Amino acid sequence: MLYYKNFNSPLGKLGLYADEQHLCKITFGTVEKDDNSNPILEETALQLDEYFAGKRQEFTIPIRPEGTSFQKKVWLALQAIPYGKTISYQEMAELVGNKNKARAVGTANHFNPIPIFIPCHRVVRKNGGLGGYAGGLDIKKYLLDLETRNGIK
């Protein structure tokens, strides 16, 4: 069974989705149905509140993203980028085994089903530009600025 919850964040409403044991998806915008929450989603909401308050740098909720094997490889590598740090799409491509796959990394980031928890916002262009973000560049900039402000000094 899939459970869902609306969550009010500084970014606007987020839709949270989970099964009995894992966070499965976060969307920008509300869920289509009334809330049908579970303990995973309640803990997700708590950890997101702490993240947005600058009190949490790592998430401990078990996740289960659905995607291709390449996407899952990228999403796993994204989780190793430290809070408050960024890397380029090319560097990410090198981490997953092929420096020529920077565009494919960007596509995998676009289809990331669990943004924020899988921090695709931490991947930027080689020249320092933001690149893209499925939630919009304003949200990407907000997340990067939040982490820069609250990073370990």
Q: Could you give the residue numbers annotated as active site? A: 120
Question: CA 46, CA 38: separation in Å to the nearest integer?
Answer: 13
DSSP H or E segment with residue 42: helix 39-52
What is the three-class DSSP state of 140? Answer: helix
The closest of 93, 90, 88, 94 to 130, measured between CA atoms, is 88
Residues facing residue 26 across a β-bridge: 16
